[in-house]
Homo-oligomer: A and B are copies of this chain.
Amino acid sequence: MSDIEIIKKLEKVGLDVLDQFKTEKQPNINIPIRSLSNVYFDAKQGLIKLGDKVQERAYFNIAQTKKFMQTILIAGQIRDLMKQHKPALDTRQLFYILRGTIPGTNEDVFNEQGESDGIIEDVEVSIDALREQLKLVAVPKGIMAGPILIEDTHTGDILDYTKMGTAGGAIPPIVEEDAFKIKSCSAKYILVVEKYAVWNLLNQERYWKKNNCLLITGKGQPARAERRLVSRLAKELKLPVYVFCDMDVYGYYIYSVYKQGSINLAFFSEKAATPSAKYIGFCVDDFKKFDLPKSVLMKMDKGDLKRIEEVKNYDWFKSKEWQGELDKLKNFGHKIESDSLVTKSIEFTANEYLPTKIDNKMFLN
């Protein structure tokens, strides 16, 4: 969707309401429901998705009048900013722009950012466009290195991710096609690493060069930009994606966020997940397989064990392989963090662990 198409969609929200007023219909806006009751796991597509339940937001319903107004205000403000080619803002900046009292009253338009954030998501879902396409950004955290050339269309810079030094290349907040254009890429796969320390080690060892891959980290739980970028790269370049996490329930879950998305951002998940992603470990069986020393083991606590049960119940962890792995983890009683693998040797991760797993297709799905 181009900016012009998005502006038109935003304008349609207002024009439809105007039509309703003119034809003396009850003005209302249809908003897809974003609550848990309308979120489901589409096993066939391997995606956490939003269902098709829709909520009417009616002008003449006192309980909905304010939200009705807020929806129109936000759609209108975003449209104005886009039409004027203003820089991308974050949702707090948009909240400040729209704050203030309703003229002639003591009533605030928005009491707090939580309110406007919710409406922004309503608008996103209504017009089927991501926040980033509406030029609203979240703080990115991710770093990338590897053989890919990107054109940043806003600045005109050509970004060569083989030349980004020890730091690696920062992932920008907006990685949509028209902003972050892939010029060329010779990588054979994408390695997504949970932890910065592990990414940093592999980058110093020039893992991406020796193995001809893209090396990406979201520094723990990934932000929106990293998820969206991995999804785009996988789809457009048709590259396999391997996710390398801690062997603990939080690592497993981070993998699932890259792969299937997350519940509370189901609408975003549909566009930012990578159902083809494969889990490359660390797994319980790897402890013996790779003959690791005991000093990598970290005892799990009650919280870890409770979380395992929760994750076991998620529909997207229901495969035989994952149920088995989660049971193994529980019985094993210890976690193994990906950064602990240096105890075997500093080079173990890059030279032995990852190549063995990839060459022998030792993936969990």
Q: Which residues from chain A sit less than 8 Å from chain B, CB to CB?
A: 81, 86-90, 92-93, 96-97, 99-100, 137, 139-141, 143, 150, 152, 154-155, 157-159, 163-174, 179-180, 196-197, 200-201, 204-206, 219, 293-296, 337, 339-340, 342-343, 346
Hey, which chain B residues are within 8 Å of A96, CB to CB?
Answer: 295-296, 337, 339-340, 342-343
Hey, which chain B residues are within 8 Å of A81, CB to CB?
Answer: 346
Hey, which chain B residues are within 8 Å of A159, CB to CB?
Answer: 163-165, 167
Q: List 14 A-B contacts (CB under 8 A).
A: A87-B200, A87-B204, A88-B200, A90-B196, A96-B339, A96-B343, A99-B343, A100-B293, A139-B196, A140-B167, A152-B165, A159-B163, A159-B165, A167-B171
CB-based contact B166/A143 at 8 Å: no
CB-based contact B97/A342 at 8 Å: yes
CA distance A219 to B196 in the complex (A): 17
CB-based contact A174/B169 at 8 Å: no
CB-based contact B165/A172 at 8 Å: yes
CA distance A179 to B164 in the complex (A): 14
Considering residues A171, A196, A295, A340, which has the most beta carbons from chain B within 10 angstroms of its beta carbon? A295
Instruction: Across the interface, name the chain B residue whose C-beta is closest to A150.
Output: B165
Partner of A157, one of B87, B154, B164, B342: B164
Hey, which chain B residues are within 8 Å of A206, CB to CB?
Answer: 155
Instruction: Across the interface, name the chain B residue whose C-beta is closest to A342.
Output: B93
Partner of A172, one of B90, B93, B167, B171: B167
CA distance A346 to B97 in the complex (A): 9
Instruction: Across the interface, name the chain B residue whose C-beta is closest to A209.
Output: B155
Instruction: Across the interface, name the chain B residue whose C-beta is closest to A165.
Output: B152
Closest 4 A/B residue pairs (Cβ): A152-B165, A167-B172, A87-B204, A100-B295
A170/B143 contact (C-beta < 8 A), A96-B342, A99-B295 known? yes
The quantity of this chain's copies bound in the complex is 2
CA distance A100 to B298 in the complex (A): 11
Given contacts A92-B197, A155-B206, 9 further A-B contacts (CB under 8 A): A87-B200, A90-B339, A93-B340, A97-B343, A100-B343, A139-B196, A157-B163, A166-B172, A169-B170
Considering residues A96, A99, A158, A166, which has the most beta carbons from chain B within 10 angstroms of its beta carbon? A166
Instruction: Across the interface, name the chain B residue whose C-beta is closest to A109.
Output: B295
CB-based contact B197/A89 at 8 Å: yes
CB-based contact A201/B155 at 8 Å: no
Instruction: Across the interface, name the chain B residue whose C-beta is closest to A139.
Output: B196
Hey, which chain B residues are within 8 Å of A169, CB to CB?
Answer: 164, 167, 170
